[in-house]
Homo-oligomer: A and B are copies of this chain.
Amino acid sequence: MLNYSISEENYLKAIYHLQKTDGTVSTNELAKELNTKPASITDMMKKLKAKKLLNYQPYRGFRLNAYGTKVALTIIRRHRLWEFFLAQKLKFSWDEVHEVAEELEHVSNKKLIDRLDEFLGFPRVDPHGDPIPDVNGKIEVSKKINITELPLHTAGTVASISDQSSEILELLEHRNITIGTKIEVNKKFEFDNSMEIKIGRQAAFTISEQLAKNIFVDHAK
């Protein structure tokens, strides 16, 4: 596996995340994600294609190939292991880890990452509940459901949060919602799709549709 620049690594990671939802990624989409201009995306797509990391036909969008996916997964592995380290060992809160991991992930020494993994006890998920790829880049796919799809009065365990801005994480922290929290939905209001939820013995409270859409739970069916 060759060495890639910080920019190339950030592009690969962003494409990986975007193509999970869409099948193929568009120039504008990626430009927005990376806070750059569409012209810069086209430049980089030519380069990444030349380096055989993705498939790209002008005007037709792009998609990582098998090799590009493998590279993306090693970067995601680094990112999530560092996030776990920051949260677990350095007592960073879960809304602070992402920004720092965004830089640490580009230190590409393999021994460093594998030893870190071992030191941390081979964690399987990062502080946001996202799975950590193993040494071989294998990633665990768990069947999580969105809280809006959780049947009423049925306990679900918070497994991950899709939006990871510090704003949402701050709000969740304030509401005592964290990975592992047991949640039950009491009622859904059709008017604005808000819902009343209950956590443990606390009094029930209401959350907005916007927030609910970002909370995923493991649902012991």
Contact = CB atoms under 8 A, between A and B. Distances in A.
A92 B104 contact: no
**Size band of the interface chain A makes with B:** 10 to 19
Interface in A25-80: none
A89 interface: yes
Contacts of A171: none
A91 B114 CA distance: 12
A115 B91 contact: yes
Count this chain's copies in the assembly: 2
A134 to B, nearest CB: 18
Interface string A83-122: 0001001111000100110011001110110011001000
A102 to B, nearest CB: 10
A29 B100 CA distance: 35
A92 B109 CA distance: 12
A90 B115 contact: yes
A103 B92 contact: no
Given A90-B116, A99-B109, A103-B109, 6 more contacts: A86-B112, A92-B111, A100-B107, A100-B111, A100-B112, A103-B107
10 contacts: A89-B119, A90-B116, A90-B119, A91-B115, A100-B107, A100-B111, A103-B107, A103-B108, A104-B104, A107-B107
